[in-house]
């Protein structure tokens, strides 16, 4: 029986077309800056989203860390959400390696950081305080897309107070597909969602299906500084075009199809909506959250595993649809859960 892995959209395997692109990629040495496939990925994604330059990184964790360290100096501070990946799930890298202090704020129910809390968190120019230098937002968060009116206001607020703005776009193209307006192309939507940000990290290894990699985008001077940090942190790779080719293939072939993942998540939520004892929460992208009474949680996880279904969490399960999960798989998962 096929294992249906809903733990994350990072578990995808390269498609045959992606493997062929990787096998035929022209290669050089990226540390010397002459891998043509890496250079093409960096330049094409920067142009696609309206930035001057890009930097290919092995992971989104490193890409975010490079951004924090390039924007901030020792003793500086960045404002960030309590649940944001670059604060909660990246091992405290900014503080440990960059001596950059996080100022975490509680999220509102839609994933945003209320503007009044951001304003109140900005420190005065006083040597008693860390210097507030950066606002870091994440789109999406928990499967929810930040409201664009809010993002525009938050970026404007930060810039008016002298802060830079970084966007963690771990699932950026999920947000793009979910935010597309009628008559608006995906390219227009993408530009709208990054407008005003000084840097953005785009992950290629989640819903887009590449095996590894993220690209950090920003101004030329910013990327030059980030490249130096990348080398120091061990992120300088050699014939990395093998990996960059997967990213290029993903950007060309796997963006529009994210709508399929979103539809499968909505279908799964609908099929489970009337199950007694189960609270179902789904946003507009590719995540479904199931909350169950504590005394039944372990038994449900074991039941799923026995039926070749993998999920993360316990009392609140996270089910993530992706490239390797079909509509038939989703219907089977719903049957397994309803049987329990």
**Got the DSSP string for 60-98?**
HHHHHHHHHHHH--TTEEEEEETT-HHHHSSTTHHHHHH
Bridge partners of 320?
Answer: 287
Closest to 252 (Cα-Cα) out of 96, 18, 33, 37: 18
What integer pLDDT is reported at residue 294 of this predicted model?
87
Structure tokens at 92: 């405290």
**Nearest-angstrom CA–CA distance, 279 and 318:** 12
Angle at which helices 36-49 and 241-253 cross, to 10°: 40
Using DSSP's 3-state secondary structure scheme, residue 331 falls into helix
Backbone angles phi, psi at 71, to 5 degrees: -80, -35
pTM score, whole prediction: 0.96
What Cα–Cα distance (Å) separates residue 151 from each residue in 53, 141, 146, 269? Answer: 23, 13, 7, 27
Backbone angles phi, psi at 325, to 5 degrees: -120, 120
**Nearest-angstrom CA–CA distance, 136 and 74:** 17
Positive or negative: CA dihedral 89, 105, 125, 200: positive
Closest to 212 (Cα-Cα) out of 8, 6, 14, 2: 14
Q: Quickly list H helices, the chain.
A: 16-23, 36-49, 60-71, 85-88, 93-98, 115-121, 148-160, 172-179, 186-194, 220-232, 241-253, 258-272, 294-306, 327-339
**Nearest-angstrom CA–CA distance, 103 and 98:** 14
**Nearest-angstrom CA–CA distance, 209 and 320:** 13
Q: Mean pLDDT in runs of 10 for the chain (340 residues)?
A: 95 97 98 98 98 98 98 97 97 97 97 98 95 97 96 98 98 98 94 98 97 98 98 97 98 98 98 95 96 91 96 90 98 97
Q: What count of Cα atoms within 13 Å lies in the side-chain half-sphere of residue 270?
A: 10
């Amino acid at each position: 029986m096929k294992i249906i892995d809903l733990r994350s959209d990072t578990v995808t395997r390269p498609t045959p077309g992606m493997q062929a692109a990787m096998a035929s990629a022209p290669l050089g040495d990226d540390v010397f800056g002459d891998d043509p496939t890496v250079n093409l990925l960096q330049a094409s994604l920067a142009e696609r989203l309206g930035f001057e330059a890009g930097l290919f990184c092995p992971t989104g964790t490193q890409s975010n860390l490079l951004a924090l360290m390039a924007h901030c100096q020792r003793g500086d501070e960045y404002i960030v959400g309590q649940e944001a990946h670059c604060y909660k799930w990246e091992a405290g890298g900014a503080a440990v390696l960059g001596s950059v202090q996080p100022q975490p704020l509680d999220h509102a129910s839609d994933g945003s950081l209320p503007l009044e809390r951001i304003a109140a968190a900005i420190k005065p120019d006083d040597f008693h305080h860390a210097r507030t230098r950066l606002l870091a937002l994440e789109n999406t968060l928990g499967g929810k897309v930040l409201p664009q009116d809010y993002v525009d206001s938050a970026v404007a607020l930060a810039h008016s107070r002298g802060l830079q703005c970084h966007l963690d776009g771990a699932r950026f193209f999920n947000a793009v597909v979910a935010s597309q307006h009628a008559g608006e192309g995906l390219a227009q939507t993408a530009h709208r969602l990054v407008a005003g940000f000084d840097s953005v990290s785009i992950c290629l290894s989640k819903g887009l299906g590449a095996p590894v990699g993220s690209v950090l985008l920003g101004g030329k001077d910013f990327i030059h500084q980030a490249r130096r940090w990348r080398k120091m942190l061990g992120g300088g790779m050699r014939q990395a075009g093998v990996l960059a080719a997967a990213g290029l293939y993903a950007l060309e072939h796997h963006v529009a199809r994210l709508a399929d993942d979103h539809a499968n998540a909505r279908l799964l939520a609908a099929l489970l909506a009337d199950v007694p004892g189960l609270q179902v929460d789904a946003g507009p992208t590719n995540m479904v959250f199931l909350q169950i009474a504590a005394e039944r949680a372990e038994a449900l996880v074991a039941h799923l595993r026995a039926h070749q279904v993998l999920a993360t969490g316990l009392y609140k399960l996270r089910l993530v649809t992706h490239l390797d999960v079909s509509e038939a798989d989703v219907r089977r998962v719903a049957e397994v859960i309803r049987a329990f």
